[in-house]
Structure 1
Amino acid sequence: MLGPMFYAPETAAALHETIEDLARQQVECLVVDGGDGTVGKVLSVLYASSYPNHNLPLIAVLPSGNTNLIAADVGFGLRGVEALQRLQDRASSKRLLSDVKQRQPLVVSWPGQERAAELGFFGGLGAFTRAIEIAHQPAILKNYAHDAAVFATFALTARQLLSPRLRQSWLNGTPVALGLDGNSAEIRDRFLFLCTGLQCLPHGIWPFWRSQGVSDHGISYLDVSARPEHLTKAIWNLVRGRAPGWIQASQSYQSGSAERIRVRTGQSFVLDGEVLETGPEQCLDITAGPVVSFLQA
């Protein structure tokens, strides 16, 4: 069933070569078997490839990685042979486009640097970066499977937030400047910043909202100031996809939609689990990328 169009590139160079080969053949649909990291790498190479960004190939995501946030929103819904058979049946009956979700990935670039852009769907910094750094500790990576590692990371993060000795260092935040859609911004301490190009997350979690009448510009973001008020209560609501009026009215919590966000900070930015340094200029741009169509079963 896999045939000559099956590719399993093991290096970045091999992936670039594979995508260029597919572009030369004008392949219009890619099936990506992997987690968030794999999907992000494929999108990053597609973005820099001979494929025109306004006409990227259709993508079917078959989740099989450690983290599958992307698949929870735009995954094909089936795996393995069953998924491939469904795709073949749809293609042969010319119904490949019968069910499609369109999303704009985050494009992370470094102004003034000769570095290729990185694409993904969920990013953040502040407490998010600190939690990811905990998750990447060898003691967790070596001793826990993925689901247990997530729980261990959550437990260690919660313990530090509850510890009188460590709590303040978390709550005092990280110096960050966020410029939304070309607006300048002063550096100030922030507890947490999250952004995504997805429209839903697993388990009903959705810590984003938009004011009434505000359009979707591609990137949903959450900006939490240092030493935020009622943090425990806010987390309890946001992880359940709720943003009651008191949160929306608070100066500690800001959320909305943007097309471009310029970030200035010395801290690393995390994109789909990958830690990205901001570079010597301590600056990166996050923009809403080209529209990508994801096939649904």
Structure 2
Amino acid sequence: MATPIYEFSQLPSVQAYRPSNGRGRPVRAPGVAPKVGVIYNPRSHRNKGADFDCGVCPHVLIAQPGNRAQLPEALAELAARGIDLLVINGGDGTVRDVLTCGHGIFGDDWPAIAVLPKGKTNALTVDLGIPAEWNLQDAIDAFEIGIRIHRRPIEVAAPDTANANVLGFILGAGAFATATQAGQSAHRLGAFNGLAVGATALWALAQSVFASRSNKWRRGARMNIMLGRGEAPMAHSGLGDPEYRQLLFASTLERLPAGINPFGKLRKGLKLVAVDQISRRTTALVPGVITGHFTKKLRERGIHQLSASQFTLDIDDQFILDGEAFPAGRYLIGQGPELEFVVP
């Protein structure tokens, strides 16, 4: 469902698919099988060349939208059928697109959600503890006997574009965007999920240690980060150019692939880490920082770990949300609706 760059102005409109009344989903009677809706992305990495079993059982409704423009109609049909469980069969990008298009349809009345890890990257399922071999029947069984985990996705709003909000779980800019491009190379070499994250992180570290500040890995991107509703400017260590940050990384996930933990002791809600144009010596300490073994004087060294209810990002370069590039501009970044995920 991906395009080369995610333009807010080209998001499919959900106005025509909004529910005409405020009635919630019908209450399921005891002993009645749950209604299950599946969004299946045939282009997801682990779905390629595999046919999806569309005859699982009559209470399972399967939609295979060919692109983003078809997603609102597919989701509206599932919503009209009163599904109890929405199964997203795909990777992080598919999850982002489904949540983005479904936000205007389900509002605050989302069904329970299950995610099958079928993409090149599946950071959300790592956080939720979903096994790699999880399938549709496992998700249906877990709806009845599994547990539920609540997460709120990041919500990115473009102030100049009405009703154009995007929901996802991992946002990054500066060297993170450069690393994402390197990660695509890792995918082409056959490295996926935690392996790809680890390989990309090691490459980024090596580039940052040995490169000069004119190198794209250490230069980062010109950006202004303003915290909270009052848009208080984020502090800067004074290292390097104060108009630049070498890296910005934000997420609402509580556990990341490859054991990476850039947020220190922060766990809940919207968390971010911003890195100034730090010295090579501090760069060499980064592995210890993201594994929690080095915590001394991080702000003085140019590494800022904090949580926020929301922040405004004014950036002159692209940023990345769940693996896809978004254009430069000014954005309000907060948290979307609380979603209930079904896990084993």
Q: TM-score, normalised on structure 2? A: 0.72
**Residue 220 of structure 2 corresponds to which residue in structure 1?**
173
Alpha-carbon distance in structure 2 between the residues aligned to 1:111 and 1:193:
20
Residue number in structure 1 paired with 2:138: 86
Change (3 A) 1:294 1:268: same
Query: Any residues of structure 2 matched to 1:277-296 within 5 Å, and which?
Result: 277-278=327-328, 282-296=329-343
Secondary structure (helix, strand or coil) at the match of 1:145 reads coil
Matched length: 278
Please give the alpha-carbon distance, in whole angstroms, between the structure 2 residues aligned to 1:42 and 1:15: 7
Q: Which residue pairs with 2:100 in the alignment?
A: 44
What residue in structure 1 maps to residue 118 of structure 2? 64
* Residue type of the alignment partner of 2:179: A
Tell me which residue corresponds to 2:178. Answer: 130
2:38 alignment counterpart: none
Alpha-carbon distance between aligned partners in 1 of 2:142 and 2:200, rounded to the nearest angstrom: 41
RMSD: 2.8
Shift of 1:109: 1.3
1:259 to 299, 309, 312: 309
Query: Displacement of 1:200 after TM fit?
Result: 0.7
Q: Which residue of 1 aligns with 2:18?
A: none
Shift of 1:244: 1.8
Is 1:30 the counterpart of 2:86? The answer is yes
Deviates more, 1:1-10 or 1:164-173: 164-173
- Indicate if the aligned counterparts of 2:198 and 2:258 stay in contact, CA closer than 8 A: no
Residue 151 (structure 2) aligned to one of 103, 106, 113: 103
- 1:84-136 deviations in Å (ceiling 9; x for gaps): 33344455xxx35x511101100111112246211110111111112223344
Please point out which of 178, 189, 207 is paired with 1:144: 189
Given that residues 204 and 217 in structure 2 are in contact (C-alpha distance below 8 angstroms), is that contact kept between their aligned partners in structure 1?
A: no
| Cα 1:9–1:253 shift into 2, 3 Å | same
CA displacement, residues 219-248 of structure 1 (integer Å, 9 cap, x when unaligned): 01101112347423431113324452332x
Q: Does 2:210 align with 1:160?
A: no
DSSP-derived class of the 2:121 partner: coil
Opposite residue 87 of structure 2, the aligned amino acid is V
Runs of at least 4 residues off by over 4 Å: 148-156, 162-169
| Structure of higher RCO (CA pairs closer than 8 Å, 6+ residues apart) | 1
- Residue 23 of structure 1 deviates from its aligned partner by 1.1
The CA deviation string for residues 23-60 of structure 1, in whole angstroms up to 9 with x for no partner, is: 111212111111111111111111122x12x2211111
Cα distance change on mapping 1:241 and 1:167 into 2, 3 Å:
farther
**Does 2:73 correspond to 1:17?**
yes
Q: Is the 8 A contact 2:282 2:301 kept in 1?
A: no
Runs of at least 5 residues in structure 2 that lack an aligned partner in the other structure: 1-55, 235-241
For the residues of structure 2 that align with 1:142 and 1:240, how far apart are their CA atoms?
Answer: 24
Q: Distance in 2 between matches of 1:59 and 1:32?
A: 7
**8 Å contact kept, 2:177–2:318:** yes
Quickly say closer, same or farther: Cα 1:178–1:67, change in 2 above 3 A.
same
- CA deviations over 1:192-231 (Å, ceiling 9, x no partner): 11000101112321110358xxx94x20110111234742
User: Counterparts in 2 of 1:215-294, with a 5 A limit?
Assistant: 216=268, 218-228=269-279, 230-247=281-298, 250=300, 252-278=302-328, 282-294=329-341
How far apart, in 1, do the equivalents of 2:227 and 2:181 lie? 27
* TM-score normalised to structure 1 length: 0.82
Aligned-residue sequence identity (percent) comes to 27
CA apart distance, 1:165:
5.6
SS in 2 for 1:124: strand
Contact 1:43 1:120 in 2 (8 A): yes
**Partners of 1:241 and 1:110 in 2: CA distance:** 34
